[in-house]
Structure 1
Amino acid sequence: MTPQMDFAPPSTSTPKKLNKRADDSEIGECSSFDITPQQDNDPSFKMVSDSDSSDSSDDEMKDVDEIVDCTKYIIYDKCLLQLVRCQEAGCGAPVPEPSKSTSGSMLIINGTCLEGHKFHWLSQPLCGETKRPAGNVAIAAATLHTGNTFTTMSEIFEEMKLATIHKSTFYELQRDFLLPNIEKMFNTHMEDVRRTYENLEDTVVVAGDCRHDSPGHNATYGTYSLMDTKTNVIVASHTVSVMEEGVPNSHHLENVGLQRCLNELKEHKFKIDVLATDRHPMVAKNMRENYPDIVHEYDIWHLGKSLRKKVAAAGKKHKELQQWQKAIVNHLWWSAETCGGSETQLLKEMWFAYITCRTIYLFLFNRNAGRPSYGTLWTIINGYAGQSS
């Protein structure tokens, strides 16, 4: 039985030093501006005040949703100044020579109208207890959530001459707002996943793999994740550092991450029937010695990738193999997909039947040359029947 999920599963280049604009002040420098709107200056602008602290959490969440979901626009400086008028009731007089300042992407306009009324206007609402400009938080959040870097985003803004936040502000917002909330939502999501699977009587088939922070054999961090192959839901995920005790080098990151994931699932009474991984030798040994009750299989993608490389290498000496490379890999996928899980018998039979037909053809094709190449193909493929079991 497939678990019914009422929730949705959760999604560097070296920074380039940019010249800071004179009007691009830090978030921490906001105190140098009086950014508290005067009463009745802008009826459409709603700012969180001290009296709002008694409001219910539902109202606060509604305000946040409105700030996040509302449409934003790019407004040119000259066009915006044409709209600067006194906000006092019954006045509407022009504001000559208004003063402008910025806090990241937020524009602050101050001035005095022809009738002597003070004018104060902010281009963005303020959010949170620290009264952060909502646009600054949105820029940092959008950059992080889309997998971009500050360097990429700042280059776009710089090219457009668009006011934006400084690099230090970006990382400050990450530290104080974005990452804590992401972690909170992730933990809440994982708790929902565990509760769902704890009540599930049937066993599950999971697939696991590790993602490192850098390629090669010098990674510092590795995140190992296990996914239910039926629901595509991540059921466990752990990040391992090579600096932790019990992790001698980066080659152990994958094995340690998998072990932590399996131990966590075991604590929450997950019933795992099959685990599919790549052909990491430490993982294979760990599963064989410490988790004999879980059927360990190699995922077909890694087998197909390795098979393609070996056939391509052999094709450099035996040109007739090159035309069969794609067909051989496709047949491996088809054999695994249609064998019904009988990897010890049906998969081997289907695999060897195809190879037998190909070797006969290759033998007939090359017999006049006196050097049949079917032995090469057989040698390459023969071991995969055992590896896929």
Structure 2
Amino acid sequence: MDASEVLEESLQNMSIQDAETQVMNEQEINDLMNSVIDWGDSEGVSNEEIEADDSEDEDYVPRICIRLGGALQAPPCIDNLPVIDASETVHDIPDVEPPSVTLPTLQQPGFPDTLEVMTEDDLIGKRASITYEDCLRQLATLLVLPVQKCPYTCDVSKMECQCRPPFEVSITRRGTASIMEWTCLVGHTVWRWSSQPTLRYGMLAGDFMLASNILLSGSNYAKVSLLFQFMNMGMVDRSSFFTIQDTYGVDTVKEFWEERRAEAINRLKDRDVVIVADGIMDSPGHCAQYCTYTAMENESREIISVITVDKRETGRNSVIMEREAFVRTVDTLLNEVKLVEVCTDAHVQISALMNKGKYKDLGLQHSLDMWHGAKNLAKRIHAASQVKGQSSLSSWLKDIVNHFWWCCKTADSYQEFL
């Protein structure tokens, strides 16, 4: 075989491999049956750094993650997936072109009115930008106001101010907005301009949108405020944030959630329902004040229950908050849908509830989340590898955990799993 034939054959092989790599089924990639357990954030990190990363801590958990598509023969290629624009990632709101504004000229004397938000269409989806004051000042110095002299007239003497341009420009901060003011040499205000439209009662649109979206995005006021402080940007004050949250946010979110939840429950009434549930505390340890317990329907992956338990409702005992939240969740869903199975982590108190009493009598099946199981297995094997003379276990850690994961995916019964 001469060199040209070898080159042609290699090019054909490359094209075949490229075709196999590029063909990608999104549903196939997202199927957990095609997933493996992998070590997260390990690129560019040496083995020595990984092993030294708090590995002697008794509570150390190896940095494992679920790698979708890792079990497929051909490596997944995401190049052919549709590109999601940044605007599509936030509430699916399409870009809205800014309205055309006719700027005033000397032939059109007078100043434009302050933009006001009269309907939600005047605000939702409108583009916004971060603007520096130096840039605003540069623009203001080049702006020719549509007046020949200061428009001020004394109320008593009826004397008109005779000051003429150029006028002095000052920029002040009000919440998240910048207010530019042109004043004459005597100090009369010629024009005042705001970088944001105003809502009813004078509230700035940017303040309202920032306060609302901190709540809707699950962010934290203190952290966002610190971010704005580091960037030397104006921020809606704390009292205004909580006023907006209490007045406009909380009840609206609650009504929206109850409406969507009712729709989901109606869709599930006529079939067997399997839920995946877990709780999260507002702080680690025994000092937690709240526990939020969330239940997701396994097939549709819709959230159908969110319950928050206050420590004061459990005799100030934070240890039993997750158990109490679990009981409320299951009892509520049993009255609404045909609940046949509940999947949770290996919580001792929840397992005890499911192994006896009314839940067992109802035939409600309890299964354990294997992702938590994989993490706990990795943690225990890693701890065992720290024992003197057992360091060789660390080289088997990834393979053992992946075998456990494969058994969980393929076994149809406990006996088959064993």
TM-score, scaled relative to structure 2: 0.61
Structure 2 distance, partners of 1:207, 1:98, is 60
Residue 359 of structure 2 corresponds to residue 291 of structure 1: yes
**CA drift at 1:74:** 1.2
Pair 1:302–1:159, CA change in 2 (3 A) = closer
Pair 1:272–1:86, CA change in 2 (3 A) = same
1:97 matched residue in structure 2 = 168
Partner of residue 194 from structure 2, selected from 97, 122, 137: 122
Partner of residue 47 from structure 1, selected from 116, 120, 128: 116
Aligned-pair RMSD on alpha carbons? 3.3
The within-5 A match list for 1:1-389 is: 41-42=111-112, 45-48=114-117, 60-65=119-124, 68-77=125-134, 78-82=137-141, 84-86=143-145, 94=165, 96-98=167-169, 100-111=171-182, 118-127=190-199, 129-198=200-269, 201-244=270-313, 246-247=314-315, 249-268=317-336, 270-288=337-355, 289-292=357-360, 293-315=363-385, 316-317=387-388, 318-340=390-412, 342-343=413-414, 345-348=415-418
Q: Equivalent residue of 1:126, what SS?
A: coil
Structure 2 distance, partners of 1:207, 1:272, is 11
Pair 1:339–1:81, CA change in 2 (3 A) = same
Counterpart of 1:309 in structure 2: which amino acid?
K
CA deviation profile, 1:77-100 (whole Å, cap 9, x unmatched): 4224225543579x9985612454
Structure 2 distance, partners of 1:131, 1:222, is 38
Pair 1:181–1:278, CA change in 2 (3 A) = same
Q: Equivalent residue of 2:276, what SS?
A: strand
CA contact (8 A) 2:342 2:365 kept: yes
Counterpart of 1:175 in structure 2: which amino acid?
D
**CA drift at 1:215:** 0.7
CA contact (8 A) 1:222 1:253 kept: yes
Pair 1:278–1:117, CA change in 2 (3 A) = closer
CA contact (8 A) 2:181 2:189 kept: no
Q: Equivalent residue of 1:41, what SS?
A: coil
Pair 1:175–1:95, CA change in 2 (3 A) = farther
Counterpart of 2:343 in structure 1: which amino acid?
A
Structure 1 distance, partners of 2:179, 2:191, is 11
Pair 1:109–1:71, CA change in 2 (3 A) = closer
Per residue, is there more helix in 1 or in 2? 1
Structure 2 distance, partners of 1:228, 1:40, is 61
CA deviation profile, 1:171-204 (whole Å, cap 9, x unmatched): 3333333333333332232222222223xx3212
CA deviation profile, 1:304-344 (whole Å, cap 9, x unmatched): 2222233233332434433322222211111111013x22x
Counterpart of 2:353 in structure 1: which amino acid?
N
TM-score, scaled relative to structure 1: 0.65
Pair 1:261–1:223, CA change in 2 (3 A) = same
CA contact (8 A) 1:242 1:249 kept: yes
Counterpart of 1:276 in structure 2: which amino acid?
C
Counterpart of 2:241 in structure 1: which amino acid?
F
Q: How many equivalent residue pairs?
A: 291
2:101 matched residue in structure 1 = none
Pair 1:194–1:80, CA change in 2 (3 A) = farther
Pair 1:286–1:176, CA change in 2 (3 A) = same
CA contact (8 A) 1:213 1:222 kept: yes
CA contact (8 A) 2:181 2:192 kept: yes
CA contact (8 A) 1:88 1:117 kept: no
| Residue identity (%) | 27
**CA drift at 1:248:** 5.1
Counterpart of 1:252 in structure 2: which amino acid?
I
Structure 2 distance, partners of 1:231, 1:158, is 42
CA contact (8 A) 1:220 1:250 kept: yes
Structure 2 distance, partners of 1:95, 1:239, is 61
